[in-house]
């Protein structure tokens, strides 16, 4: 068994779609970044990569590479899942926390959970997504950005 943790944060900006867990969420602002800036999926990727000892997402998909401009983060996660399978691991469970003051994300938690689980090829019960507000404090509380924390447990399929 191996544990991995991931973290991602992006600023909010007008004129961008807000995408979390591969789900587009109606809001006046979206996350700014080189790819689609899906902070939830990025944190999940980093947790899985960390558990496997495979570095981080920025090494695989550097922002300096124009080929990754506006790339879907679900495609990045799919690539990480391929590595997971190649290394003969499977996901036991994934737990995440989205730190966001706005918008209210409760109606989108199940679609995000299902999207991430589908990409991971696991049952939705193995994926947990929670939301915490910034309580009006700091960058999150001022609605300047969204941060995500993720932790996963994987196990080897080798006997």
The DSSP code for 79 is H
The reported pLDDT for the residue numbered 124 is 98
Q: 55: closest CA among 20, 80, 92, 81? A: 80
Sheet strands (E) in 15-52: 18-20, 23-25, 29-31
- pLDDT of 39: 98
- In this predicted model, what pLDDT tens digit does every residue of 121-155 receive, in sequence order? 999 999 999 999 999 999 999 999 999 999 999 99
pLDDT bracket for residue 158 (50, 70, 90) = confident
User: What is the rounded average pLDDT of the residues 25-34?
Assistant: 96
Question: Hey, which residues does 97 pair with through a beta bridge?
Answer: 130, 149
66-89 mean pLDDT: 95
In this predicted structure, what is the pLDDT of residue 29?
Answer: 97
Please state, in angstroms and rounded to a whole number, the distance separating the CA atoms of residues 54 and 149: 18
Give tens-digit pLDDT for 51-71. 999 999 999 998 898 888 889
Compute the half-sphere exposure of residue 145: CA atoms within 13 Å on the CB side of its CA: 12
* 73-86 vs 109-120: helix crossing angle, rounded to 10: 40
Residue 18 pLDDT > 80: yes
**Rounded Cα distance, 140 and 53, in Å:** 30
pLDDT in the model for residue 44 = 98
Q: What is the pLDDT of residue 80?
A: 98
Domains and CATH numbers, the chain: 2-156 (3.30.1330.50)
Assess whether pLDDT exceeds 80 at residue 85. Answer: yes
37 close to 21: Cβ distance less than 8 angstroms: no
Q: Which residues contact 23 (CB under 8 A, 6 or more apart)?
A: 108, 111, 112, 115
Return d(Cα 63, Cα 49) in angstroms, integer.
18
Helix (H, G, I), strand (E, B) or coil at 98: strand
Q: What is the pLDDT of residue 159?
A: 63
The residues facing 131 across adjacent strands are 98
């Amino acid at each position: 068994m191996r544990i991995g943790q991931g973290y991602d944060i992006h600023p909010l900006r007008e004129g961008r779609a807000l995408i979390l867990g591969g789900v587009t969420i109606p809001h006046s602002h979206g996350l700014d970044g080189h790819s689609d800036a899906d902070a939830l999926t990025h944190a999940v990727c980093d947790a899985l990569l960390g558990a496997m000892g495979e570095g981080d997402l920025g090494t695989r998909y550097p922002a300096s590479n124009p080929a990754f401009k506006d790339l879907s983060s679900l495609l990045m996660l799919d690539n990480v899942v391929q590595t997971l399978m190649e290394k003969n691991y499977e996901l036991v469970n994934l737990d995440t926390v989205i730190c966001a003051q706005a918008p209210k994300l409760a109606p989108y938690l199940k679609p995000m959970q299902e999207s991430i689980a589908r990409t991971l090829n696991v049952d939705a019960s193995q994926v947990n997504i929670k939301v915490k507000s910034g309580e009006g404090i700091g960058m999150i509380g001022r609605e300047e950005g969204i941060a995500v924390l993720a932790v996963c447990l994987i196990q080897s399929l080798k006997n």
